[in-house]
Amino acid sequence: MLMTGAQYIESLRKLKTRVYMFGEQVENWVDHPIIRPSINCVAMTYELAGDPEYVDLMTAKSNLTGETVNRFSHLHQSTDDLRKKVKMQRLLGQKTASCFQRCVGMDAFNAIYSTTFETDKKYGTEYHKRFVEYLKFVQKNDLTIDGAMTDPKGDRSKSPSAQEDPDMFLRIVEKRADGIVVRGAKTHQTGSINSHEHLVMPTISMTEADKSYAVCFAVPSDADGIFMIYGRQSCDTRKMEEGADVDLGNKQFGGQEALVVFDDVFIPNDRIFLCEEWDFAGMLVERFAGYHRQSYGGCKVGVGDVIIGAAALAADYNGANKASHIKDKLIEMTHLNETLYCCGIACSAEGYPTEAGNYSIDMLLANVCKQNVTRFPYEIVRLAEDIAGGLMVTMPSEKDFKSKVKVGKNGETIGEVCNKYFKGSPIATTEERMRVLRFIENVALGTAAVGYRTESMHGAGSPQAQRIMIARQGNIEAKKELAKNIAGIKK
């Protein structure tokens, strides 16, 4: 049964998730002013699923149960599903201007589904059957799942088994008849605190020496031995200021990252989907990365739509909207943003069925999509900052604009002085001008940078990770043959 946004938020209150921030445990993390905006983002994925206007994008018919499920827990059954995924992500980016955090779980579902099928085919294991039952459970209860892949990695020059501290990659430390015990951590975990469960995967290809690190499993977020340390974001404590509003930029929504620690956590057999089959770790990593790189052609585009709108508003409020260079910059921003969307749609349209039956994207085009995402959002933000002007980062605080302290010879207050000298075009009030500038600051430099600018660089793998995959999949030898044939070269 599909939950509403309010029901989702209430479901989090039932969890006993251990959360730490600023060196202390956060007891009521659901209502914490720094955390709550990220919860609101996830809630939007539930709210839109119940809106008749968006039901076609936000929901799908499960191939496992025949029931209607949230698309975030769906296995892609066609290229149409893949395209709708990207369109759904763009929609949510437009609605939140931030990271809505459920993409990693959706991408993990599809990667694990096909990988477990092929693992079972080789080894006669039952991982695929277990995973199907687990996904039915997720769909039935409309859960949010954190797809947990990235390990701390320690010394990057060494493999998991060669690390001085073996916990730098999450690993199996004990095997029992009824399950396994794991130890380690997952870093940069998007929406981890807001998730009902974690779906853990290996982070790199493995050798046989690393087999204890080749593990995939599901576990409740509040399981014994799991705790999370909330990631610091620029300008985050503004949310804790009394009466904070204008200075927040994006008051209602925000992203979230955390370090998730697994301190000898027991995983029962029915929730284990890979256990020392090291030769399938690389397949799982590449498939998840491919799906997640496709995702960025949707979510970052939706946020980009809002940034372009904010830049255009800033130009209006500054009285500069008729300048030819402003119009040209907005055109360039739109061109870059739609190019990202083209990549997301293209790798979806060129998708194909896996052996398990769900659909994969075109891997080469997905990596090209993410490679562009490591560049274009930076230029989009640069142009937005250019249009906005320096006041975006030098304006006084919201409290100054509201201050009643008298400072002028004629009795003017600090607030009156600020409102006078920071007024722009008559089409907007000073506060409206400040609001749009603070929003651009938030996206470019503040807490929303996690969900847009900085995440565009490192989310779903660093730029070099995509270049490696592009090199593998670019098929240069075949291109040489094309040139030889046309040029008349026989050898």
pLDDT over 70, % of the chain: 100
Please, are residues 367 and 294 in contact by the beta-carbon 8 Å criterion? Answer: no
**Among this protein's residues, is 317 annotated catalytic?**
no
User: What would the pLDDT profile of 83-124 be if each residue is shown by its tens digit?
Assistant: 999 999 999 999 999 999 999 999 999 999 999 999 999 999
**Among this protein's residues, is 190 annotated catalytic?**
yes
Is the domain spanning 5-285 CATH 3.20.20.70? The answer is no
Task: At 187, give phi and psi (nearest 5°).
Answer: -105, 165
Domain boundaries, the chain: 5-285, 293-480
Burial of 105 (0-12, 13-18, 19+ CB in 10 A): buried
192 CB contacts (<8 Å, ≥6 apart)? 146, 148, 186, 198, 221, 228, 256, 257, 258, 260
Pick the CATH number of 293-480 from 3.40.50.720, 3.10.129.10, 1.20.140.10, 3.30.1540.10: 1.20.140.10
> Which one is catalytic: 32, 46, 103, 144?
103
Strand order in the sheet with 272-275: 145-148, 197-200, 215-220, 272-275
Other CB atoms closer than 10 Å to residue 446's CB: what's the count?
23
C-alpha closest to that of 79 among 370, 344, 475: 344
Mean pLDDT of 374-378: 96
Find the DSSP H helices in 422-473.
430-444, 453-458, 463-473
Please, are residues 158 and 145 in contact by the beta-carbon 8 Å criterion? Answer: no
> Which one is catalytic: 76, 116, 128, 257?
257
**Among this protein's residues, is 374 annotated catalytic?**
no
Collapsing DSSP to helix, strand or coil, 297 comes out as: helix
> Which one is catalytic: 113, 291, 296, 317?
296
**Among this protein's residues, is 296 annotated catalytic?**
yes
**Among this protein's residues, is 455 annotated catalytic?**
yes
> Which one is catalytic: 8, 41, 99, 454?
99
pLDDT at 1 over 90: no
> Which one is catalytic: 113, 150, 292, 343?
292
Global pTM value: 0.97
> Which one is catalytic: 79, 144, 190, 203?
190
**Among this protein's residues, is 235 annotated catalytic?**
no
What is the secondary structure of 358-416 as a DSSP string? SEEP-HHHHHHHHHHHTTHHHHHHHHHHHHH-THHHHPPPHHHHH---B-STT--BHHH
Mean pLDDT of 347-369: 98
Taking the mean position of all CA atoms in its chain, how far away is CA 152? 18
- 5-285 and 293-480: same fold? no
User: What would the pLDDT profile of 322-341 be if each residue is shown by its tens digit?
Assistant: 999 999 999 999 999 999 99
Mean pLDDT of 149-172: 97
> Which one is catalytic: 275, 299, 343, 347?
299
